[in-house]
Structure 1
Amino acid sequence: MRTYAQYCPMVRAVEVLGDRWTLLIVRDMLIGATRFNEISRGLPGLSRALLSRRLRQLSNAGLVVRTADGYALTPAGQDLRPLVFGLADWGARHAFGDPRPEELDPELLMWWMHGRIDTTDIAKRAVIQVVIADRRRTYWLVLEPGDASVCYTDPGFDIDAVLSSDLPTLYRMWEGEIELLDAVRAGTIDLTGARWIVRGLPGWLRLSPIAETVRASRRG
C-alpha cells in the first residue's frame, strides 16, 4: 500500500479509509449488512473480488472481523459512525442536487426498501406490486409477520396493493426529500389497494438511514 509519508492521524485515517468503495462498505455495515452477499447486493458496482480485498484491508486495519455467518465491525469500526454520517450530513447540505440518470438503479432501490420495512405490525401477508412506469419495470414486495422480501419476478400471490411512480420520484421519497403521503396527495405517487395496506405502508416503510439528514438540510 502506498502511503502519504506524513506523520499525522488524519493521514493514517485516509490511508485506511480512502480507497474507492471502503467508506460505502462501512456505511452498509453500520446500517446492518453483515453477510458478504448482503454487502455485495447493496453495492452493485463493486466486484466481488474487490469487495473481498476491501474486507481484508478493513480486517487488517482492525475495523472488521469475521464471524460465524459473515462480518462484523469492531469497536474501532463502530467508532466510524459519526464520521460516515457526518459525511452524509455535509453531502446533503452541500453536494446533493438533482439525481443523475446513472445514479438511479431500480433494483438497488427495491433492495434498499425491502430491508427497511418494519414488519412488527403486519399480521398477515401483504403483497405490494411496485410499478416503475418510466423504466417499464415491475417488482413485488412480499410482507409477512417478521419478514419482508422483494421479488424481481411475479411471486404468484394475489396483489393486495399497487404503488406506482417514476424512478426519480421514488428515489426522492426514499431519501427523504418528499413525503410519501404528500406525493400521493400530489399525484406523483399512486398508492391503491386494500385500505389497511394503504394506511399502513407510510408507517411500515422506514426510509433511508440518512433521510432525516436530508430533511434537515432541506429545512435549513
Structure 2
Amino acid sequence: MARYGQYCPITRSLELLGDRWTLLIVRDLLVGAERFNELARGLPGLSRGLLSKRLDHLVRAGLVAHVDGRYLPTQAGEELRGVVFGLAEWGSRWAFGEPRADELDATVLLWWIRGGMDATAFGDRERTVVHVRFRSGARRQYWLVVSRGDVSLCFTDPGFDVDLRLEGDLDALYQVWEGRMEYGAAVRDRRLVVTGPTDLVRALPRSFRFSPVAPFVRQAMASLAR
C-alpha cells in the first residue's frame, strides 16, 4: 500500500483505493460479481495472483467480506458506490470517446452481456440460443444460451438449435452496450445485423439490461447534441 505522508482523508482514501485495478474490482463487486472466477473473467488483464492480492487488501481494509467463497461489499464498500459511479458520470462527460483497439475484448463484452440479460424478454421459452459472430478479431464466434435463471456464455457450439444470429462489428456492440450508440441506429446502419423469427428479433434488445454506466453515457451524449 502506497503512503503519501499527508494527514488528509483524500490521501487516506487513495492509500486504500489508489492501486491499479482496485477500483475496477470494487466496480465489479458493486454490480454483482461475487466469486473469484467471476471477477477474473471480467478482468482478464489482471493476473489471478494480483487479483487475490487486491481482494485480500480490500478484506483487510474492511471494504469487502469474504464469506463462504463469496466476496461481498461491506457497508464501507457499498458507500463507494457514489464514488465509482461519480467517476462514471464524470468520465462520460470528459474522458469518454470512440473506443480504442486495445479496449475491445470480445470475451469481456460477451461476459458483461451474459450477466445483464433478462430471459423474460423471450417469453415462456425454455431456452433461447443466440449465435454471436463478429466480423473481425482473434475470436469471432460465441453462443449465448438464455434460459430462466441462467445465461451461459459458450465458446464452442453448445449443440442446441440456434434461434437468433447476431453478426456485427465489435466496436458497435460495445458502444451499444455502453450507451454511446443506440441499438436501433446500429441496426439501421447494419453495424449489427440480427436474423431469426420476428418476435425473437424484436425481443433481443429488450433482453439487454445494458451497462450500469449507460445512463451516464446517454446523458453525456444528449448534452453534447444540444
Do they fold alike, i.e. is TM over 0.5? yes
Post-superposition Cα deviations, 1:149-198, rounded to whole Å, max 9, x if no partner, equal 11111111111111110111111111111121222122221011022211
For the 8 Å contact 1:121–1:145, the answer to whether it is kept is no
The DSSP-based 3-state class of the residue aligned with 1:155 is coil
- Whether 2:211 is the aligned partner of 1:208: answer yes
Q: Provide the secondary structure at the position in 1 that maps to 2:136.
A: helix
Structure 2 letter corresponding to 1:16: L
Q: Does 1:9 find its partner at 2:9?
A: yes
Alignment partner of 1:195 out of 198, 204, 226: 198
Distance in 1 of aligned mates of 2:84 and 2:49: 24
Alpha-carbon separation, structure 1, partners of 2:7 and 2:211 = 37
**RMSD in angstroms over aligned alpha carbons?**
1.1
Is 2:131 the partner of 1:155?
Answer: no
Question: How many residue pairs end up in the alignment?
Answer: 220
Match of 1:191, SS? strand
Question: Which residue of structure 2 aligns with residue 20 of structure 1?
Answer: 20
Q: Would you say 1:87 and 2:87 are equivalent positions? A: yes
Distance (Å, rounded) in 2 between the aligned partners of 1:190 and 1:10: 47
Distance between the aligned counterparts of 1:211 and 1:121, measured in 2?
19
2:139 aligned with 1:175, yes or no? Answer: no
Using the size of structure 2 for normalisation, the TM-score is 0.94
State the distance in 1 between where 2:71 and 2:190 align. Answer: 42
Aligned equivalents of 2:101, 2:188: Cα separation in 1: 26
Partner of 1:126: 128
Partner residue in 2 for 1:217: 220
Distance 2:197 2:147 in 1: 15
For the 8 Å contact 2:121–2:204, the answer to whether it is kept is: no
Q: Is the 8 A contact 1:110 1:150 kept in 2?
A: yes
| Structure 2 CA distance for aligned equivalents of residues 166 and 62 of structure 1 | 42
* Alpha-carbon spacing, 1:43–1:213, altered in 2? closer, same or farther (3 Å): same
Mark the runs of 5 or more structure 2 residues left unpaired by the alignment.
none
Instruction: Please list, as runs of the form range in 1=range in 2, the aligned pairs for 1:67-78 lying within 5 A after superposition.
Output: 67-78=67-78
Following the alignment from structure 1 to structure 2, what is the Cα–Cα distance between the partners of residues 7 and 30? 29
Q: Verify the 8 A CA contact 1:120 1:146 in the aligned structure 2.
A: no
What is the aligned counterpart of 1:146 among 149, 161, 168? Answer: 149
Q: Please point out which of 150, 168, 172 is paired with 1:165.
A: 168
Distance 1:182 1:147 in 2: 29
The 2-side partners of 1:174 and 1:54 are apart by 28
Structure 2: how far apart are the matches of 1:115 and 1:184? 22
Identity of aligned residues (%): 53
Task: Could you list the structure 1 runs, at least 4 aligned residues long, displaced by more than 3 angstroms after superposition.
Answer: none
Residue 219 of structure 1 and its aligned partner are, at CA, apart by 0.6
Counterpart Cα distance in 1 of 2:80 and 2:141: 37
Whole-Å Cα distance in 2 between the matches of residues 99 and 121 of structure 1? Answer: 29
